[in-house]
Amino acid sequence: LSHIVQYYLNDTSENILLLAYTNRAVDEMCLALDKIGGNIRVKYMRIGSRISSGSDFTDQLLSVRLEGVKSRRGLIELLKNQRIIISTLASITGAQDVFSLMSLSTVIVDEASQILEPLLAGILPLFKKVILIGDHKQLPAVVVQSSDKTRVEETELHEVHLYNTRTSYFERMYSLAVARNWHWAFGCLYEQGRMHDDIMQFVSEHFYEKSLKVLPKTRSGRDLLESLRAPDMVSESALSTAFKTKRMIFIPGEVETDAPWLKTNDSEARIVVEIVRELHKMYPDVSIGVITPFRAQIANIRAHLINAGINPEDYSVDTVERYQGSARDIIVLSVCVNDSNQLKQVVSLSGEGVDRKLNVAITRAREQFIWTGAPSVLSENALYSKLMSASEMVDVCCIPESETNNKSSKHAE
């Protein structure tokens, strides 16, 4: 996004509109623009409200800039000096007077793979050029209707790859462009600078047809292996040894046999506590995120952390949906499936058969991916079986509740 914007600023006289679905994504776009440097802030303006905008970007709001404007002429002069307008889809829909007051010839939509077609249908025809940025192999738009109710039956629409209205416009146009060999209409980024090479290998093989590569600058610019070597570790448990030497680690949990229908798993919650405690001892300055699919397990893990004297706010315990668009040095995943029905719930397959939720969970990790789950259930899924095989397995056995709690005071100190 940053490179595209710099091209339009430096090599054209066009004004552009940047759109995203969520305010968080718009904040990320503003941050990306700020990193361009120079006088970039005088060249872009954001449409939205103070409440929904990040505090670092409220000065860029149109409503704030208008506080000193007393006339329509003043508004036109203000807009004339802007090269870039940034907004959510909802905000720009309520401020379409902007299109009559300034010329915007190109629209760039970020995270477009999460936006359904009707939301873009009224905006895109207003522009000469449309650039969509997204990854349809990661999380899709949230749709409450079942797939049966959103299926498109008209065969004429199938010709333009409109098979289901729950599919994003981005994904439909991508599949159509590939099928019709419109090579000029799409491109893929194959180099990534977030994940360590060892993590990327699994992602590349199972989600991206072995096409991903580590950016050369990332590979040579820092010693990624060295970044996870803990200094002078006294404890040489199997867990700490694995944490020091491996990038992908699996710790077996147990099925909740007493109440398998519950969307919680105490053995995994205790394992997460042990992981966090050990990581904090080894790497006090790295960022750690905890992902789990169910709200009930989020509350369960947070309760176990609190009981162990660990502040859960330091570790961002949340669902994978909330993690899309962000990253941590180390990601801890609690799969929390007690039977095959729950396993089906945590799998989200794309039209190409890619498990989008697992893809997002793994790709949030920069340096290390540590996960736990019940092997007896996970082995029913081919991809999770392959992930277990690709990970270093460390059996910490059943960590008793009492042992987890007994260590709380030492960690708190």
Give 138-156 pLDDT, tens digit per residue: 988 888 888 889 999 999 9
Domain boundary pick from 135, 159, 182: 135
Q: How far apart are CA 346 and CA 334, in angstroms?
A: 11
Residue 284 lies in a domain: yes
Q: How far apart are CA 88 and CA 94, in angstroms?
A: 10
Domain count of the fold of the chain:
2
Residue 392 lies in a domain: yes
Residue 327 lies in a domain: yes
Residue 210 lies in a domain: yes
Residue 202 lies in a domain: yes
pLDDT at 72: 85
pLDDT at 224: 41
Phi and psi of 60, rounded to 5°?
-90, -5
Q: Based on the domain organization, do 289 and 368 belong to the same domain? A: yes
> Which of 151-160, 228-237, 393-402 is the most confident on average?
151-160
Note the helical H segments in 114-196.
117-121, 147-150, 155-158, 169-179
The whole domain housing 279 covers 192-412
> Which of 235-249, 256-270, 301-315 is the most confident on average?
301-315
Q: What is the maximum alpha-carbon separation in the chain?
A: 72
Q: Based on the domain organization, do 35 and 117 belong to the same domain? A: yes
pLDDT at 38: 86
Measuring CA to CA, how many Å separate 342 from each of 145, 268, 346, 361, 377?
A: 19, 15, 7, 17, 9
User: Residue with structure tokens 């720009």?
Assistant: 92
Q: Based on the domain organization, do 104 and 225 belong to the same domain? A: no
Q: Based on the domain organization, do 17 and 98 belong to the same domain? A: yes
Instruction: List the CATH number of the domain containing 407.
Output: 3.40.50.300
Whole-prediction pTM: 0.81
Domain boundary pick from 89, 111, 135: 135
Q: 412 pLDDT band (50/70/90 cuts)?
A: very low
Q: Based on the domain organization, do 81 and 230 belong to the same domain? A: no
Domain boundary pick from 117, 135, 153: 135
173 has a pLDDT exceeding 90: yes
Residue 175 lies in a domain: no
Residue 170 lies in a domain: no
Residue 172 lies in a domain: no
